[in-house]
Amino acid sequence: MKTDKVAPLPFRDPVREVRVEVERAGQRIDNFLILLLKGLPRSRVYQMLRRGEVRVNGRRIKQHYRLCAGDLLRIPPSFGLGRPQPQAPSASLLERIETCVIYEDAGLLVVNKPSGIAVHGGSGRRHGVIEALRASRPNQPHLELVHRLDRDTSGALVVAKKRSVLKQLHANLREGRVDKRYLALLRGSWRNGTKTVRTPLTKNVVRSGERVVRADPGGKPAETKFLSVDTCSDATLCEAIPTTGRTHQIRVHAVEIGHHVAGDPKYGNREFNRLMRHRGLHRMFLHASQIGFSSPATDGLIHVVAPLDEHLLGVLDNLGLRTLF
């Protein structure tokens, strides 16, 4: 006798009440919930906030609400079909990221992020640098990204270990008190001097969902200084210093001055990229080489240099170019 299959009942989390710790004070409610409700789609988190299903001290709140120490959160039931726990990052990723830590103190650490690894999971990537660090350091529950780098960009990435350190470093970023410097291989020969680009930028989303940034007089202010380090007939190694922190800023500003970043798959010059592949380049040549800021603990200067990897050093050697260090 044939029987109908019965669909499994959806898994239902119970209502929860969560008290906000001092370390989480100042964090946006949406970011807090995304971290707390691992495995729940972000769309569902924002739906819960829009509908008022999440309450703080008994009241509805907006997604940009910043938590206060002692706030009592009511977390509603969330549904999923036997929602599994997120798969842990691989042991190889944990080991790789740990070996990339180039500076560490009691309040923060700096990773020399490899190209091709995202800073966090999402957009088809299950795990990034921050998930790997949290998995390898279970005794440090408050690890948070201080800033971000594009997946294809390598170099210095700062991670806070404490909420108080994160808040201080975010304040430093807003006030322009963080010195970030990049090394970029640009199209064409350019000797000496400095080029400063002050072209406003705006973000667009194309039909495929891909994020694209464009120069736009009505966009947000953006400024990048480019300093020539060494040049050859085909390319120039530059130090790029962004004084603002817009998405894809260096890459788009390089286009504005006609010197596309080598290997850039989104904004680059196809012919130049092909030429650089023949010279051994198989990724985008943009590297966060230095970062400097005041220590939240001592007010002393922290200055970290992130060395270029062997691949990029080999490309420079093939081109006969010298680097800064």
Q: Which residues are catalytic?
A: 150
Compute the distance between CA of residue 313 and CA of residue 217 in angstroms, rounded to an integer: 37
Our measurement of the distance from residue 238's CA atom to the centroid of its chain's CA atoms, rounded to an integer in Å, reads 22
Alpha helices, H only, the chain: 29-36, 42-50, 91-99, 129-136, 163-174, 249-256, 270-278, 310-319
| Per-residue tokens: 321 | 């170019």
| Per-residue tokens: 110 | 């700096």
Compute the distance between CA of residue 56 and CA of residue 188 in angstroms, rounded to an integer: 56
Compute the distance between CA of residue 2 and CA of residue 16 in angstroms, rounded to an integer: 42
* Helix or strand run (H / E) with residue 211: strand 211-215
At which residue do the structure tokens 């001055």 appear? 257
Strands 286-294 and 301-305, sheet pairing: antiparallel
Q: Quick check: 262 and 73 in contact, CB under 8 A?
A: no
Q: Quick check: 186 and 262 in contact, CB under 8 A?
A: yes
